[in-house]
Chain A
Amino acid sequence: MEVWIVKNLWLIPALPLLAAGLSAPLPQRFRKLSASLAIVSMIGAFLLSLCAFAHAMHLSHANDVMERLGRQSTGVREFFNFAWLQFAAGDAGILKLGWVLDPLTAVMLVMVTFVGTLIFIYSVGYMAHDQNFTRFFTFLSLFAAAMLGIIIANSLLLLFMCWELVGLASYLLIGFWYHKPSAAAAAKKAFITTRIGDVFFFLGIMWLYHETGTLLFYDNGAGCLEQSALAKMVTQTTCFGLAVSAAIGILIFIGAMGKSGQFPLHVWLPDAMEGPTPVSALIHAATMVAAGVFLVARVYPLMAVHIDGAAAETAALQVVTWIGAITAVFAASIAVAQNDIKRILAYSTVSQLGFMMMGLGTGGVAVGMFHLITHAFFKALLFLGAGSVIHGCHEEQDIRKMGGIRNYMPVTFLTYAVGMMALAGVPLFFSGFWSKDAILHAAHGWSVSHIPFYLGVAGALLTAFYMTRQMALVFWGQYRGHTSHETPQVKTPELVAIKSEYQPHESPRSMTVPLIILAVCAIGLGAIGTPAWPWFQEFLGSHHEEGFTRGVIQMMMISGLVVLVGGGLGIGLYGFVQRKRADEPDVLEKLPLGMHTWFAKKYGIDELYELTVIRFNAWAAKACAFLDEWVWGGAVALVSYVMLGLSWASRAFDEFVINLGFDQGCERVSKGGSLLSRLQGGRVQIYLRVIGVALVVLVLFLIWGGAK
Chain B
Amino acid sequence: MTPLAGYLLLSAFLFAIGLAGALTRRNAIIVLIGIELMLNAANLNFIAFWRYGANPEALTGIMFVIFAIAVAAAEAAVGLALIIAIYRHYKTTNVDEMNSLKG
- Do A and B have CB atoms closer than 8 angstroms in the complex? yes
Residues A683 and B96 in contact, CB atoms below 8 Å apart:
yes
How many residues of chain A are within 8 Å of chain B by beta carbon? 8
Contacts of A683 in B (CB 8 A): 95-96, 98-99
B47 within 8 A of A: no
The smallest C-beta distance from A381 to any residue of chain B, in angstroms, reads: 119
A612 within 8 A of B: no
Contacts of A689 in B (CB 8 A): 23
Residues A682 and B95 in contact, CB atoms below 8 Å apart:
no
B19 within 8 A of A: yes
Centre residue among A683, A685, A692 by max chain B CB count within 10 A: A685
| CB neighbors of B among A301-347 (8 A) | none
The smallest C-beta distance from B102 to any residue of chain A, in angstroms, reads: 10
| CB neighbors of B among A668-708 (8 A) | 681-685, 688-689, 692
A266 to B31 Cα, complex, angstroms: 122
Interface string of A278-294 (1 = CB under 8 A from B): 00000000000000000
| CB neighbors of B among A528-580 (8 A) | none
The smallest C-beta distance from B70 to any residue of chain A, in angstroms, reads: 24
**Given pairs A684-B31, A685-B24, A692-B23, 5 additional interface contacts (CB within 8 A):** A681-B99, A683-B98, A685-B95, A688-B19, A688-B22
**Chain B residues within CB distance 8 Å of chain A:** 19, 22-24, 31, 95-96, 98-101
Residues A684 and B19 in contact, CB atoms below 8 Å apart:
no
Contacts of B23 in A (CB 8 A): 685, 688-689, 692
A235 to B22 Cα, complex, angstroms: 126
Pick from B22, B24, B100: contact of A682, CB below 8 A.
B100
A685 to B22 Cα, complex, angstroms: 7
Contacts of B101 in A (CB 8 A): 682
A683 to B26 Cα, complex, angstroms: 11
Residues A692 and B95 in contact, CB atoms below 8 Å apart:
no
Residue in B closest to A681 when the chains form the complex, CB atoms? B99
The smallest C-beta distance from A663 to any residue of chain B, in angstroms, reads: 31
Contacts of B96 in A (CB 8 A): 683, 685
A20 to B23 Cα, complex, angstroms: 110
Contacts of B19 in A (CB 8 A): 688, 692
Interface string of A498-537 (1 = CB under 8 A from B): 0000000000000000000000000000000000000000
Residue in A closest to B26 when the chains form the complex, CB atoms? A685
A682 to B96 Cα, complex, angstroms: 9
Contacts of A692 in B (CB 8 A): 19, 23
The smallest C-beta distance from A695 to any residue of chain B, in angstroms, reads: 10
The smallest C-beta distance from A502 to any residue of chain B, in angstroms, reads: 115
Contacts of A688 in B (CB 8 A): 19, 22-23
A689 to B100 Cα, complex, angstroms: 18
Residue in A closest to B34 when the chains form the complex, CB atoms? A688
Residue in B closest to A680 when the chains form the complex, CB atoms? B99
A685 to B95 Cα, complex, angstroms: 8
CB-defined A-B contacts under 8 Å, sample of 18 = A681-B99, A682-B98, A682-B99, A682-B100, A682-B101, A683-B95, A683-B96, A683-B98, A683-B99, A684-B31, A684-B95, A684-B98, A685-B22, A685-B31, A685-B96, A688-B19, A688-B22, A692-B23
Contacts of A681 in B (CB 8 A): 99
Contacts of A684 in B (CB 8 A): 31, 95, 98
Contacts of B31 in A (CB 8 A): 684-685
